[in-house]
Structure 1
Amino acid sequence: MPENIPIAPEVLTHVIEREVGGWQGKLRHNPLFHLLLAFFVGIIAGLGAVAFRRLIGLMHNLFFFGQWSFSFNALKHSDASIWGAGIILAPVIGGLIVVWLVRNFAPEAKGHGVPEVMDAIYYKRGVIRPAVVLIKALASAITIGSGGSVGREGPIIQMGAAFGSSLSQWLRLHEWQRLGLIAAGAGAGIAATFNTPVGGILFAVELMLVEVSARTLVPVMIATGTATFVSRLFLGNHPSFVIPASIIASTAHETVADYVAYVVFGLLVGGVGLLFTNTLYWTEDFLEKWLKNAYLRTILGMAAVGLTMYLVQRCTGHYYVEGVGYATVQNVLESTLLNPGFLLLLLVLKVFSFAVTLGSGGSGGVFSPSLFLGAVLGGAFAALVSHWIPDYQMGMAVGAALGMAGMVGASTGAAVTGAVMIFEMTNDYHIIIPLIVVSGLAFGVRRLFTRESIYTRKLIRRGHFIPEARHSNLYLMRPAAQLIETPMVRLRGDRTLEDLQKILLHRRELPHVLIIEGTMPLAVIPAHRVAEILRREIRHVPLSDLASTDWVAVRDDSQLYDLVARLRACACETALLCKKDPPEHHEDVVAVVTVEDILSYASLPQVLLRPERGPQ
């Protein structure tokens, strides 16, 4: 070709894209490259955790003392603000700034962070906008620094996950790689802030990973280890709390009485954890119902938080319930707060302040409040038991440590993470069995009443189901007919909701409703949709107007794997299991199966039921 003949721009672009795509494709399939990315995510997550803690210190000093300083020790109580009673307005001003930031730049930054990461994993193919990193850091730092009663771990988790997502999107990695890096970023964030690398790994496994295998777990291990190392370089190699070794070591000589006390305490923590979760969502619903304007809701809610912390400081000398509350936890661990009545009062005030902070639009995590509640509850329990049974002495530090693990397990659902993290903080193997007992029982009590944790309940309220476990493909090889648990009723489309209500009077379980027209199936009302429309005042509306015609027919002898494939191919959420495909008569329909049925049966992640796409 002569050199003076120009190359068309579109041809040049195609060549460049082909070469770059080939280069990226090779990297995507290179295991070492994926591990190097995890290493990079760990570095950024560790640095992010350090920077975020410094940012909280800056905001605290600005709001409380009007000083430009990053110096802040969360284990020490803050001095009284120079503003006096004016400190009541600090949370209000901070809250207004946060609401403005969140509403205008990143709605995902509202609330406690972890649910948004889980939602991105299961419902958005792991896509988290880069803006979330900056807005979440700034909004949460302002909320905590101005006196909001929330934690710093949720924001750090969300920031680490958002960076993992942004990096994988930029490199156009496969979806499983993107989800793995999100989990790695989340685990790295929590490992860096607590100096608990094993706890960070388990957090990712329990709550983030949709697939537990070597190809996903090893990157998480690398990221959490790297983030912890980076954190230690800047913050020192010491636990988040200073736990007296002499008191914790007493667990090396347990008796039957000790384990009876642990069992009772575990059950108690589970009940309080359930109350903690319920109070948050009760408060959010109440404030949103009665205060429609977001800014007015923030003004009144954060004013209540500011007034609470000011009154506590005036009466006791310390703010106690403001911010992350680690100074209060340290007091309980050091046995300097001995009055069980005061500890229980702090528990109530912390639950109130936390729920109102998030309910009125604040941004922050739930991990620190969980640790706070567990510590004060454990301290109060130890003090009361020692008072009521003089012959039995339970150290307050022991009670606080067990309470922290149990409250994390009960509220977040990460029972193993809670036990192992506190074990890492104590650095004493003798306490591991009591931690397991209390954390496991606390989780069990909460699970007895509801399957939803404080994280997943937020998503369920959006209609987003999160599976509780990850399994191998064993379930996919089983017959789809094994999914048939929910009953089905056949009704003509001209029947009304009032007719359906009469039919359901004598049924214990809500059925799927198959709408028929003549001899053929026409539409479906899934059981969860039936529950929703029964609450409406639309009794005379024909059922055909409420039903969905978006369904796919599958033979009743198909394997679950084939059923999932058909749902993905057709982008449907409802399938008719039929004797014939396609059905020739509505009697050919054996059962109705929905995505929710599949998720409940096989604990499959929602992403597996979405239409297949290439790398993003």
Structure 2
Amino acid sequence: MPRQFRLLDRRVLRVTGLAMLLGAGVAGVASVLIALIALVTNLAFFGRLGIEDSSPADHHLGPWVVLIPVVGGLVVGAMARWGSRAIRGHGIPEAMEQVLLNESRIPPRMTWLKPVSSAIAIGTGGPFGAEGPIIATGGALGSLLGQLLHVTADERKTLLAAGAAAGMSAVFAAPVAAVLLSIELLLFERRARSLIPVALAAVVGTGVRYLFAGEGPMFPIPAVAAPDLPAIGAYLLLGAMLGVVSVWITRLTYAIEDGFARLPIHWMWWPALGGLVVGVVGYFQPLTLGVGYGNISGVLSGEFGVAAMAALCVFKLLSWSVALGSGTSGGTLAPLFTIGGALGGVAGAGLVAVAPWLHVDPRMAALVCMAAIFAGASRAFLTSVVFAFETTHQVHGLIPLLGACAAAYLVSGLMMHNTIMTEKIARRGVRVPSEYAADHLDQIAVGDACSRDVVTLQAGRSLGDVRAWLGSGAAAFKHQGFPVVDANGNVLGVVTRRNLLDAQRSDDTRVSALIGRPVLGVREDHSLREAADHMVEADVGRLVVFSRGEPQRMVGILTRGDLLAAHARRLRQARESTRHLGGKATG
């Protein structure tokens, strides 16, 4: 008899404890990585030892600055060739692939290769944020912990997601957004047994971040006023526009990656070529170099003029897309936020000039476009909304954020099948879940789907008699398996038609002699999901169904065909609903 599903069990306590310890460890690693990026930045651009925060934009190297990203690209290319190719890119697609195909087993060497390569790439001017590598490193540490300990594949996935959430929380102090990111891009589920450990890991990661960086928002900006109805409408249109932009950016990035793939040189040299573009762009527009979190704050605060924001948007897009397409190690979040925020600031200023009656605030426009571009590119819709709120603490931004991100998601979903996170692994044949719905089989009780018209065989009946009965056609058209009962009606087991017609058995053999295993059953109050899992584990095609109130009384039999019939009803209902709406069923 299968165990009925329980929302939580005691193993969750163990996984939660591990996740919280992991959260503290990942937050510490995040601090080390940020310090390492600062160390490389100070060495590369200022020729000094130190981990104080500094921006590559403040360098005094002149044209020599062009060579710094090239050197970084050479080092990263060598690390990728002789270390692991998985360090290339922003790391989230690779983590998704390991979750979907490899039971969340990330190679242990990634726990140091990814952060070190990212620190070198970003520290030498790479136009990336530190959050992507930290998320990937946190996931790798969670996976490693799950591989070292005796946990299930689902628990290892939970630890991977907990590490990633703790990493994001440690950078941005956005624990709710970090949990949502884990759900939308890594867990592919929303279950209490995974949600609780991930959430508490994010809380711990945020708490440790507070110790090092304080409790203020990541992007502090002056308070914005609550928008009125015309402004909300304008922000919705901006969100839809950013949905289109996010699709173009995704296609541009992968087109550049495809272009590098056609080059007649080994891929280890591609990051150096990408670094050359980064260096040239950085020479003319220094703000594109490095992490650039200050740029996001400046855009959201309204400190940049329209020309400065337009230049930052264009040049950051050029530098980042080429660098990412070249296969260097870096992230996508901060560059997309910079591009979207700058574009939103420009669009907001334009609306103020041409349509002041809309009451658009350029700072709010920058905020909603920052979130909308990520929502459109990644389809992490809820993550985008909550992230923008948590990193700015702007309560009045929630309604515009919700509308703009929904509009961007809608437009992106209609225009593009895959996302910037999934395109790479989809090209390798990996199917990535994009929607989460309640398990249809989990909603149906066995008693509502099983066959009640059960034909049984008496244990003492001879095989010859049963064969003659089958040959008469009385049951041949319907049943493939038959419960065997004793004189008192108790079920002893199940025999199949193949067993009964086996030519090696003589006609004098009793039916009871054909029973090869104890009866496998399920109660009528079990779900079809529990019954299906029991079938798979026991490698059988049918289960005897027993009464809920009288566990010894058989009330029916459940077959694989009954499971398929339940799905057929779901598909039929979906087709009928779609037919009434005049659309096309998607299943």
**Contact 1:283/1:359 (<8 A) preserved:** yes
The reply on whether 1:408 has 2:374 as its aligned counterpart is yes
**Contact 2:73/2:272 (<8 A) preserved:** yes
What is the count of residue pairs matched by the alignment? 455
Q: 1:568 & 1:352 partners in 2: Cα distance?
A: 53
Counting only pairs closer than 5 Å after superposition, residues 239-254 of structure 1 correspond to structure 2 as: 239-245=217-223, 248=224, 250-251=225-226, 254=227
**Contact 2:371/2:401 (<8 A) preserved:** yes
The reply on whether 1:261 has 2:255 as its aligned counterpart is no
**Contact 1:50/1:235 (<8 A) preserved:** no
Q: 2:314 & 2:31 partners in 1: Cα distance?
A: 31
Q: 1:111 & 1:68 partners in 2: Cα distance?
A: 28
Q: 1:461 & 1:566 partners in 2: Cα distance?
A: 34
Q: How many Å apart are 1:294 and its aligned residue?
A: 2.2
Distance 1:271 1:136, change over 3 A: same
Distance 1:560 1:226, change over 3 A: closer
Q: How many Å apart are 1:418 and its aligned residue?
A: 0.9
Counting only pairs closer than 5 Å after superposition, residues 299-318 of structure 1 correspond to structure 2 as: 299-312=272-285
Deviates more, 1:152-161 or 1:205-214: 205-214
The reply on whether 1:298 has 2:279 as its aligned counterpart is no
Q: 1:370 & 1:348 partners in 2: Cα distance?
A: 12
Q: 1:409 & 1:565 partners in 2: Cα distance?
A: 39
Aligned counterpart for 2:50 among listed residues 54, 69, 77 = 69
**Contact 2:234/2:358 (<8 A) preserved:** no
Deviates more, 1:278-287 or 1:32-41: 32-41
Q: 1:565 & 1:89 partners in 2: Cα distance?
A: 62
Q: 1:54 & 1:376 partners in 2: Cα distance?
A: 27
**Contact 2:77/2:269 (<8 A) preserved:** no
Letter in 2 for 1:155: P
Letter in 2 for 1:169: Q
Q: 1:561 & 1:108 partners in 2: Cα distance?
A: 37
**Contact 1:291/1:297 (<8 A) preserved:** no
The reply on whether 1:458 has 2:424 as its aligned counterpart is yes
Distance 1:568 1:412, change over 3 A: farther
Q: 1:470 & 1:181 partners in 2: Cα distance?
A: 20
Letter in 1 for 2:38: G
Letter in 1 for 2:213: L
Q: 1:64 & 1:458 partners in 2: Cα distance?
A: 33
Q: 1:567 & 1:377 partners in 2: Cα distance?
A: 53
Q: 1:355 & 1:180 partners in 2: Cα distance?
A: 31
Which secondary structure state, in structure 1, belongs to the residue aligned with residue 288 of structure 2? coil
Q: How many Å apart are 1:107 and its aligned residue?
A: 1.6
Provide structure 2 residue ranges, at least 5 long, that are not aligned to the other structure: 1-8, 445-527, 540-558, 576-587
Aligned counterpart for 1:136 among listed residues 86, 109, 114 = 114
Q: How many Å apart are 1:293 and its aligned residue?
A: 2.0
| Superposition TM-score, scaled by structure 2 size | 0.73
Provide structure 1 residue ranges, at least 5 long, that are not aligned to the other structure: 1-27, 313-318, 479-558, 571-580, 582-589, 602-616
Q: How many Å apart are 1:200 and its aligned residue?
A: 1.1
Q: 2:374 & 2:164 partners in 1: Cα distance?
A: 16
Q: How many Å apart are 1:374 and its aligned residue?
A: 1.5
Distance 1:229 1:321, change over 3 A: same
Residue number in structure 2 paired with 1:277: 250
Residue number in structure 2 paired with 1:526: none
Cα root mean square deviation, aligned: 2.7
The reply on whether 1:53 has 2:34 as its aligned counterpart is yes
Q: 1:311 & 1:568 partners in 2: Cα distance?
A: 63
Based on CA coordinates, which of the two structures has the bigger radius of gyration? Answer: 2
Residue number in structure 2 paired with 1:315: none
Counting only pairs closer than 5 Å after superposition, residues 277-356 of structure 1 correspond to structure 2 as: 277-312=250-285, 319-339=286-306, 341-356=307-322
Deviates more, 1:458-467 or 1:353-362: 353-362
**Contact 2:253/2:325 (<8 A) preserved:** yes
Aligned counterpart for 2:202 among listed residues 224, 247, 250 = 224
Aligned counterpart for 2:76 among listed residues 98, 102, 106 = 98
Deviations along 1:179-223, one digit per CA (max 9) or x if unpaired, are 111111111111111011111111112212133221111101110
Q: 1:79 & 1:298 partners in 2: Cα distance?
A: 21
Q: How many Å apart are 1:292 and its aligned residue?
A: 3.1
Deviations along 1:113-148, one digit per CA (max 9) or x if unpaired, are 111111111111010112101010011111111111
Residue number in structure 2 paired with 1:487: none
**Contact 2:169/2:175 (<8 A) preserved:** yes
Residue number in structure 2 paired with 1:540: none
Which secondary structure state, in structure 2, belongs to the residue aligned with residue 59 of structure 1? helix
Q: 2:96 & 2:309 partners in 1: Cα distance?
A: 34
Aligned counterpart for 2:143 among listed residues 138, 142, 165 = 165
Aligned counterpart for 1:373 among listed residues 312, 325, 339 = 339
Q: 1:180 & 1:354 partners in 2: Cα distance?
A: 31
**Contact 1:47/1:230 (<8 A) preserved:** yes
Q: 1:29 & 1:127 partners in 2: Cα distance?
A: 24
**Contact 1:477/1:561 (<8 A) preserved:** no
Q: 2:146 & 2:423 partners in 1: Cα distance?
A: 28
Q: How many Å apart are 1:566 and its aligned residue?
A: 9.3
Residue number in structure 1 paired with 2:510: none
Which secondary structure state, in structure 2, belongs to the residue aligned with residue 302 of structure 1? helix
Deviations along 1:65-100, one digit per CA (max 9) or x if unpaired, are 111111115xxx545424321110000000010011
Deviations along 1:440-468, one digit per CA (max 9) or x if unpaired, are 11111111112311101111011101111
